[in-house]
Amino acid sequence: MQTQVTKLNFTGEKIFVGMDTHKNSWKKSIVHEELLLKTFVQPPEPDTLFSYLKKNYPGAEYFSAYEASYCGYWIHYRLTELGINSIVVNPADIPTTNKEHVQKEDKRDSRKIARCLRNGDLTPIHIPTMKTLQDRTLIRNRYTMIKELKRFKHRIKSLLLFYGVTIPEEYNNRSGHWPKRFIAWLETLAFNEPSATYSLKMLIKQVKNLRETLLDITKQIRELSKTPAYKKNVELLTSIP
């Protein structure tokens, strides 16, 4: 007696996946038409999700959504490469009931995203290109260096204030810029104990290193601004009085 085997075929149908992403795992909910098919946990890998969908819902058109977070957009890029219609949404833009707001959990969140995706209630955010994102890293690094430089300057000033060292009026400006003459003056300072003098010199060394790093990053940004991708916009911005 032969056993009839019926192959799954979801051709022409749509499968919606809502994801709540975390570092070590992703909570996923799958919705089809009016039915919640499944909520489960998988490793944080787009390819694993794609393999699962192809195996269990072959032939269907796949849609997915997840909230913008620390993990960035690499998930979206990979899902799109695999043929999944992926969007990233602002968490604040997802329609949420009072109960969902109070009883927040990964399982409930993934179902909410899948349901809203199916109903067309989600508005995707703009996803920059990979080039734009990576170029922005240079800008972010410069901003980080500026903040670090400010912190070390404050530490040096606090150290001088703690020991009653008065900064000469010619260097005590409000612009925050430290000329080389001021740093040279700092390097001449010495306390009674070598330990305190060493601590000051280490702080000065950090300031000098950060200034050099900041200069290098700024040069790289200037070179980047001259490339075809940004040259026109930079010229427009610098033309504003």
- Which domain-ending residue is among 119, 154, 176? 119
Is 1 part of a structural domain of the chain?
Answer: no
pLDDT for 207 equals 96
pLDDT value at 8 more than 80? no
pLDDT for 1 equals 47
Pair (104, 140) in one structural domain: no
pLDDT for 162 equals 95
Q: What is the mean pLDDT of the chain?
A: 90
Number of domains in the chain: 2
Three-class secondary structure of residue 103 per DSSP: coil
pLDDT value at 213 more than 70? yes
pLDDT tens for 173-196 read 777 789 999 999 999 999 999 999
Q: Which residue has the higher pLDDT, 33 or 54?
A: 54
pLDDT for 5 equals 46
pLDDT tens for 89-114 read 999 998 876 665 556 666 788 999 99
- Which domain-ending residue is among 90, 119, 148? 119
Is 2 part of a structural domain of the chain?
Answer: no
Confidence tier at 6 by pLDDT (50, 70, 90):
low
Lowest mean pLDDT among 103-107, 115-119, 168-172: 103-107
pLDDT for 34 equals 75
CB 31 within 8 A of CB 39: no
pLDDT exceeding 70 applies to what percent of the chain? 93
pLDDT value at 57 more than 90? yes
How many residues would you count in the chain?
A: 241
CA distances to 98, 149, 160, 163, 187 from 166, rounded to whole Å, are 58, 21, 7, 9, 14
Pair (161, 109) in one structural domain: no
pTM summary value: 0.77
Parent domain of 201 = 130-238
State the Cα–Cα distance between residues 43 and 56, nearest whole angstrom: 17
Pair (134, 233) in one structural domain: yes
Alpha helical stretches, state H, 27-169 = 46-56, 74-81, 98-102, 106-119, 130-162
